[in-house]
């Protein structure tokens, strides 16, 4: 039996909830996480029509990109579409789960999906986040350094960009004296001991802290282990908003916009005046990405592909970049396929369906 928790734990291993933005509400919105999964319906918006679709297809877990509940609900009596959706889901034993900005902010998430559709290469996060990394320093006998380092690497420490097993090592002398209750690995209790030690420094993702520390402690030969954990202020290149990459060959602006229209299946692109330069560097952000305009300009993107630009914000392109607003739903529609691909990789015992309901509330005529 596969429980809802097993499915959500798997997704959170890829897009941890701690990577969502502060205003967001990703996670299990309703439902009992210990319930067995009978079938999963994947959608962008878990609307009432989607819950009806889940009932029809005997799916008891709806996985959505947008959380149906954003702010607090104080009463639940079916007065609006949010309350009606939640009531219908609960009455029919359907759980709703959302992976939203946490899935936007990871390297292989929503924005990578868009970058791949446009054939971008050399992709990196457009606006990486800070305060997600820490440094661990520990000291161990020189001969044990390899084993201790490996334990920390195996637990996920020491990743920088596309490199892993990164560490810095210096040799020096450690001193210690154990009291009568000790059983020192080297030296004698009650006597000061000098030991040639290696100082090992590694960087790690804060959320892996307990795993890395316990792995280090297990591998470390000392009875009492000296280690320091420092918060660091670096940007973390793996996590953040938007993505930037290069086209394989520069394109004329008009040709790029037509390609964009075709690849993103959008009926209409709202864009700023073309600049006359070819497009080679492309910034993308699924959903509302107007806040990334300064980052895209700073990193010399020729175009920013996103949605939800307001009239006055279009002026901010100021001849430095082309803003291409492709529509919110259109920019995120392939997120369903992303969920499907991720789930297929790990689960095969229950049905996985893509919702056929078009939940886009915006129509074009």
User: Residue 48 or residue 308: which is nearer to Zn ion going by CB?
Assistant: 308
Dihedral angle, C-alpha 218, 219, 224, 226, nearest 10 °: -110
**First vs last C-alpha separation in the chain:** 47
Q: Are 281 and 104 in contact (CB under 8 A)?
A: no
User: Residue 152 or residue 323: which is nearer to Zn ion going by CB?
Assistant: 323
Q: How far is the CB of 83 from Zn ion (least distance, A)?
A: 21
Residue 157 touches Zn ion, criterion: CB under 5 A:
no
Site residues (CB under 5 A) for Zn ion, limited to 264-293: 287
User: Residue 68 or residue 212: which is nearer to Zn ion going by CB?
Assistant: 68
Residue 290: CA count within 13 A, CB half-sphere = 17
Q: How far is the CB of 111 from Zn ion (least distance, A)?
A: 12
User: Residue 10 or residue 329: which is nearer to Zn ion going by CB?
Assistant: 329
- What is residue 283's three-state secondary structure? strand
Count of residues of this chain found to bind Zn ion when the rule CB under 5 A is applied: 2
With a CB cutoff of 8 Å and minimum separation 6, the contacts of 218 are 151
Q: How far is the CB of 66 from Zn ion (least distance, A)?
A: 6
- What is residue 33's three-state secondary structure? coil
Residue nearest Zn ion, CB atom distance: 287
Interatomic CA distance for residues 293 and 313, integer angstroms = 9
Q: How far is the CB of 227 from Zn ion (least distance, A)?
A: 41
Helices marked H in the chain: 4-14, 48-56, 81-91, 101-104, 110-117, 145-154, 209-219, 253-263, 293-298, 311-315, 328-332, 335-346
User: Residue 53 or residue 332: which is nearer to Zn ion going by CB?
Assistant: 332
Site residues (CB under 5 A) for Zn ion, limited to 305-334: 332
Q: How far is the CB of 331 from Zn ion (least distance, A)?
A: 8
Q: How far is the CB of 46 from Zn ion (least distance, A)?
A: 13
Applying CB under 5 A, the residues found at the interface with Zn ion are 287, 332
């Amino acid at each position: 039996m596969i429980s809802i928790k097993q499915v959500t734990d798997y997704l959170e291993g890829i897009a941890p909830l701690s990577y969502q933005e502060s205003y967001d509400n990703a996670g299990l919105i309703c439902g009992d996480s210990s319930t067995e999964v009978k079938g999963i319906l994947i959608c962008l918006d878990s609307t009432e029509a989607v819950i009806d679709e889940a009932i029809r297809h005997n799916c008891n877990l709806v996985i959505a990109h947008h959380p149906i509940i954003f702010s607090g609900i104080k009463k639940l009596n079916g007065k609006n579409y949010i309350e009606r959706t939640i009531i219908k889901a609960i009455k029919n034993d359907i759980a709703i789960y959302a992976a939203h900005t946490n899935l936007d902010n990871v390297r292989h998430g929503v924005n990578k999906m868009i970058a791949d559709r446009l054939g971008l290469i050399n992709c990196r996060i457009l606006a990486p986040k800070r305060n997600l990394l820490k440094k661990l320093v520990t000291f161990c006998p020189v001969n044990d350094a390899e084993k201790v380092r490996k334990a920390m690497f195996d637990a996920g420490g020491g990743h920088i960009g596309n490199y892993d097993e990164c560490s810095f090592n210096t040799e020096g002398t450690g001193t210690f004296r154990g009291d009568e209750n000790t059983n020192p690995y080297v030296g004698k209790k009650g006597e000061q001991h000098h030991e040639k030690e290696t100082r090992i420094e590694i960087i790690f993702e804060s959320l892996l802290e307990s795993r890395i520390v316990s792995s280090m402690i297990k591998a470390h030969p000392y009875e009492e282990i000296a280690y320091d954990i420092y918060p660091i202020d670096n940007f973390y290149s793996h996590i953040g908003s938007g993505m930037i990459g290069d086209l394989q060959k520069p394109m004329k602006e008009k040709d790029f916009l037509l390609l964009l229209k075709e690849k993103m299946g959008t009926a209409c692109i709202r864009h700023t005046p073309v600049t006359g330069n070819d497009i080679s560097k492309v910034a993308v952000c699924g959903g509302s990405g107007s806040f990334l305009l300064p980052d895209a300009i700073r990193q010399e993107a020729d175009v920013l592909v996103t949605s939800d630009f307001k009239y006055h914000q279009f002026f901010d392109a100021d001849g430095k970049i082309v803003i291409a607003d492709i529509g919110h739903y259109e920019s995120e529609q392939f997120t369903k396929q992303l969920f499907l691909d991720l789930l297929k990789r790990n689960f095969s015992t229950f049905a996985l369906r893509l919702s056929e309901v078009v939940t886009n509330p915006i129509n074009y005529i």
